[in-house]
Amino acid sequence: MPRPTLTRSAFDVTADGTRVDRWTLDSGHGVRAEVLGYGAILHSLTVPDADGRPECVVLNLPTVADYAERSPFFGAVIGRYANRIAHGRFTLDGRTYQLPVNDRGHTLHGGPEGFHHRLWSAGPGPDGHGDAAVSVRLSLHSPDGDMGFPGALDVSVTYTLDHHGTLRLDYTARTDRPTPVNLTHHAYFNLAGAGRGDVLAHTLAVDSDTYLPVTAEAIPCPASAPTAGTPFDFAEQRPIGARLNDDSRQLRDAGGYDHCWVLTRPGVPDEMRRAARLAEPGSGRRMEVWTTEPGLQVYTGNGLDGTLSGPAGKPYERHGAVCLETQHFPDSPNRPEYPSSVLRPGEVFRSSTEFRFPHLPRGAGC
């Protein structure tokens, strides 16, 4: 029976000539992930379809320069704070901090030089999986004042791929001063294959009955809203494009979905729960997202316009992918009613997310 394997190879170099490695995790049964040291990026995720035919299901770019200069966060780990902080400003323990703004006067995804633009150190992940899984652990030190955030922060993310084909991400962080922390993963999924048209026929279900409406600048409004009877109702699995063109200010302003759903959280807090189900009818590929996080940002690739292409030269068109970003709520540092995103000295930030592929046979070759 094939066993999962981990290999390391050179991928490219940065602008200053620093080598960037590619870590390949192979389940031994058809699922394979490639992770880069630059941005802790998931560069490739190959998944067989229902008939065993493999295809990369995440959008990617050919070179490190492309990721550094042109990428809309393809596959990257996002920090220090995923999503938006209004006006790039927050107050913590009586002191106000100003961050650089990079999105309509607000701070998005940690600022213009967030974690997606950093070179992470990497090595094999912790043992303990036996022959059932392999992992790579990437680490980053973010100094005090980095992008305006207080406190030095030490972050790690571990990608683990098991023999069933489940890809898991485990994040940890520690700080020497109180600071907001919100980490997420920004993979762009197209289960038909990267560059194979739009995802509007993909079906989606989200384990939620409320979402966060936003202003025209994508900052959450004061209150959440029920999804029932609205274009945001994905309680049952339905095509992403079914109501994308409804006469809704929320959809018009964003050009599609770019909103955070408040996940249903029964049971123990911080326990892994299902957040979403995604399926592509033509290939038969299905994916489930499980997480310990309270929110899920759904983004339908509204900014893609065909000017970016992958290594095979296929252009990425509008709505050519969907992002399912597990995270705390946007602008939480300014919203005391939201779950706190503040990490304090002596505490450990922990978060986990899994991407599962239930159409694959369990423990058998594809």
Which parts of 178-250 are beta strand (E)? Answer: 179-180, 184-185, 203-206, 208-212, 225-226, 238-239
Q: Active-site residue among 280, 288, 293, 325?
A: 325
The answer to whether residue 55 is catalytic is no
Distance CA 314, CA 195 (A): 5
Q: What is the DSSP string of 42-75?
A: EEEEEEE-TTS-EEE-B---SSHHHHHHT-SSTT
Q: What is the DSSP string of 277-343?
A: EEE-TTT--EEEEEESSSEEEEE--TT--S--B-TT--B--TT--BEEEEESPTTGGG-TTSPP-EE
Residue 334 corresponds to which tokens in the numbers above? Answer: 């300014």
- Strand, helix or coil for residue 117: helix
- Alpha-carbon distances, residue 320 vs 317, 327, 359 (angstroms): 5, 22, 22
Distance CA 6, CA 24 (A): 6
Residue 291: closest CA among 341, 352, 205:
352
| Whether 350 contacts 171, CB under 8 Å | yes
The answer to whether residue 163 is catalytic is no
Q: Active-site residue among 43, 109, 186, 202?
A: 186
Residue 35 corresponds to which tokens in the numbers above? Answer: 């992770």
* Alpha helices, DSSP H, located in 183-320: 249-254
Catalytic site positions: 186, 325
